[in-house]
Amino acid sequence: MAKNFRLAFEQIKKANNILLVTHAKPDGDAVSSICAMMLILEQIGKNYTAYCKDPAPKQFLFLPRSEKIITNKKDIKFSDFDTIISLDCGSLSRTTLIEEIKTKKAYQKVIEFDHHIKIDNFSEIEVRDPVAASTTEVLYHFIKTVNLRFNKNIANCILTGILTDTANFLYPSTSENTIQIASDMLIYGAKFPQITEEAYRNKSIGAMKLWGKAIENLQINPKYKIAYTILKDEDISTCDCDEEELEGIAGFMGNMDNINALLFLRETKNGGYKGSMRTSLDEIDVSRLANKLGGGGHKKASGFFIDVNIEKENNRWLIK
């Protein structure tokens, strides 16, 4: 890892214009990672543009530089950038710049910072640690290795990424190293109460009702000991809540006793279902099923999308 950190830093130092990108529908770690990298580049005087297909969820707009993330690809002239830094994307498809990266010029180099299991190879320099609890945890070690400076803004970004990707240290991905990094960030001025308030204590009444509906729909497959729940689009639309308020349902229910794994499916407005899988067992790898369905993620937390229609008949969910 130290070698790749230094290779990435050398490319960043010689870059003239850098494009930062994170995945569509960004979560806390994605927004935190791209904001942290903006702060890092400012520290060493680099020109950059930050892009994400979708805007940052409102609960993460407190993060420094989040307002600088642009969402219109037409505002980007891809050929102007000699370095592209992908953060928390996992696979090429999640960058939302598939064609641009596939057809990039020889002078353009891609650096990938990530903590997901490798799915495809689209970068010249890969900085990946699947054991890390978050991509911001990877960035912490990058900053330390190349002797950059921490400050309270960077600390807030790194701690936010860790807290949101571990559900406040609840998920099994939390390690002794994760706790130590979080402690360091508090020393550098990260505001734990503010992060918790902004990221977690902001659920609307509609969101609480929807979480209740997800629990009400919960069933267990006795053969495989897999718990599953499904939310239809009409459930979501009638509860008057933002999509980002659904984040955390899978993690919350995945900690049930006496199950092997949890599957949470929610219908999207354009059809099809976004799936989230969780397990707390070391011997279970939910990413294998997610990969088979075109998604990916971690051994204990993965996701995918399936373009199907699901209906409930006689208290059973059937794929039509």
Per residue in 85-143, pLDDT tens? 999 998 888 899 999 999 999 999 999 999 988 888 899 999 999 999 999 999 999 99
| Average of per-residue pLDDT across 293-305 | 85
* 38-96 confidence digits (pLDDT tens): 999 999 999 999 999 999 988 899 999 999 999 999 999 999 999 999 999 988 888 99
User: What is the structure's pLDDT at 242?
Assistant: 62
Q: Which two tokens stand for residue 213?
A: 């509906």
Cα 250 to Cα 109: distance, rounded to the nearest angstrom: 36
Lowest-confidence pick of 10-14, 33-37, 92-96, 136-140:
92-96
Q: What is the pTM of this model?
A: 0.81
Q: Provide the CA 119 distance to its chain's centre, in angstroms.
A: 15
Q: What SS3 state is found at 20?
A: strand
Q: 21: which strand partners?
A: 51, 86
Pick 278 or 157 by higher pLDDT. 157
What residue type is assigned to position 77 of the chain? Answer: K
Q: Which residues of 214-253 are buried (b: 16+ CB within 10 A; e: fewer)?
A: beebeebeeeeebbbbbbbeebbeebebeebbbbbbbbbb
Residue 204 has pLDDT above 80, yes or no: no
| Average of per-residue pLDDT across 208-225 | 90
Cα 136 to Cα 114: distance, rounded to the nearest angstrom: 9
Domain 205-319: give its CATH architecture.
Answer: Roll (3.10)
| Whether the domain at 2-199 and the domain at 205-319 fall into the same CATH topology | no
The CATH homologous superfamily of the domain defined by 2-199: inorganic pyrophosphatase (n-terminal core) (3.90.1640.10)
Domain boundary assignment for the chain = 2-199, 205-319
